Chains A and B, each alone.
Chain A
Amino acid sequence: MRRMLLLGWLIALCAGAAVGAEPPGDSLYQLEIALQSSDGTSVALSELRGRPLLVTLFYSQCSSVCPMITARLQSIESQITARNRHNVTILMISLDPGRDTPQVLASFRHEHHIEASNWIVARAAAGEVRALAAVLGVRYRELPDHSFNHSAVIALIDRDGVIKARADGVLGADAAFVRQVQSIAASH
């Protein structure tokens, strides 16, 4: 009898693992997006599964809103307790893959003092960025001078890729948002 219970527990465990293998239907990781990082390496978005994620869209030539988004991300990160901080991946994806080459993105990291390895600054194919923007609710438009107008959104994604919170705009108090990041980073 004990052996049967053990068997049942093992089957349940395996079934749980199998469910875990397929992301939930509303998971960001349903998207097939190949990220090319500022160091030139490639990583599939779905490989980021397993850790909480803060994600935003930006472009490096942006002189008005984007530096504020970067500063806001840094501010949010600084408010996360040190114990949880290394659990959170921070992902900035370019809206301008044609100009934001890995070299340009590396310069962007340098200019904004982004050194920690849990920050990924990357680009992806234009069509894939559009799909990601659609899921995140980011609206953007390329202007004739190749600048972009875009809504500033920082999304908090849980370990399975489900959007848990959004911080819209570049200003405003982050306390509630940070609490949500903390709670997701501390779970498990």
Chain B
Amino acid sequence: MRLLLPALLAQLALLTGTCAGEERVAIGPVDFEPVLAPAPGKNRVHVPAFRLDRSPVTNGQFLEFIQSHPQWRRDRVASLFADGEYLSHWAAADRLGDQALPQQPVTRVSWFAARAYCSAAGGRLPDWYEWEWAAAADEKLTDARSSPAWRTRILDWYARPAGEPLPAVNGGAANVYGIYDLQGLIWEWVEDFGSLMVSGDSRTQGDPDKLAFCGAGALSAQDRENYPVLMRIAYLSALQARSTGHVLGFRCAAQPQEIAP
């Protein structure tokens, strides 16, 4: 019992953290034109209603998660699920330290670890189209992608030197849904990161020249001016599921019907 109690408390903290302070926001259903066309001659996608976390998952939240799911500690995780840099900036396997403050977004987490966290928090990783649509918003519009200010702000973030300490989450302005940090803080895992650059045109299947990442992506990109989004797609597509990165974190999503009572 003495052994179980800390695990239960950690679980409780994780649940309350997800349900109360960091609640999810309802978005959609929506039809929109993503930057990558879903198929030749088809420009729009339908995204069913979903919910998305207001904030990226923080170091503090992820620490609570590994306390109740110790198989995801950096000293115990199977190498199939995370590379050697997984949580390497934490002071110890179970301690954050100076380089990982509780309110900073958790980074250096693999896709498998992000998925396990979201599953434990009653959700899942968002799909790319869900993420792209949520991140198309600014403070006033749900689709600000044609706004030069929207693009410039993101490109300014890309231009910032890597290696600087990350700010805490929720530091900037929330978008029109009340969601923070979709742009300008970290890269974020999506469930289907490995599918983004697969060409939508089946005629290219089997043609090695056209199966190259850039070729396939360029083939199906319908908004070639949208560098901010294309850069994000290129970044995600180059990852493996066990990859980690200094500015690569995540947030969770959920179906509408999964709302906790």
Bound together = yes
What is the CA–CA distance of A84 and B148 in the complex, to the nearest angstrom? 64
List the interface of chain B (C-beta within 8 A of A).
38-39, 42, 78-81, 111-112, 115, 124, 191-192, 194-200, 202, 205-206, 208, 211, 240-241
SS of B interface (majority): loop
Residue of B194, B196, B240 with most partner-chain A CB within 10 A: B194
Question: B39 near A131 (CB under 8 angstroms)?
Answer: no
What is the CA–CA distance of A140 and B202 in the complex, to the nearest angstrom? 11
Taking residues whose C-beta sits less than 8 angstroms from the other chain, chain A's interface range is 20 to 34
Q: Please, which residues of chain B bring their CB within 8 A of the CB of A64?
A: 202, 205-206
The contact sample of 23 A-B pairs, CB cut-off 8 A, is A25-B78, A26-B78, A30-B80, A30-B81, A31-B80, A127-B124, A133-B194, A139-B194, A140-B194, A140-B195, A140-B198, A141-B192, A141-B195, A141-B200, A143-B38, A143-B202, A144-B42, A147-B202, A149-B200, A149-B202, A149-B205, A150-B198, A152-B206
Question: B202 near A25 (CB under 8 angstroms)?
Answer: no
Question: B39 near A145 (CB under 8 angstroms)?
Answer: yes
What is the CA–CA distance of A29 and B196 in the complex, to the nearest angstrom? 27
Leading 3 A-B pairs by shortest Cβ distance: A134-B241, A25-B79, A141-B195
What is the CA–CA distance of A43 and B38 in the complex, to the nearest angstrom? 35
Q: How far is the CB of A119 from chain B (nearest CB, A)?
A: 24
The 8 Å CB contact of A30, one of B78, B195, B202, is B78
Q: Please, which residues of chain A bring their CB within 8 A of the CB of B198?
A: 139-141, 149-151
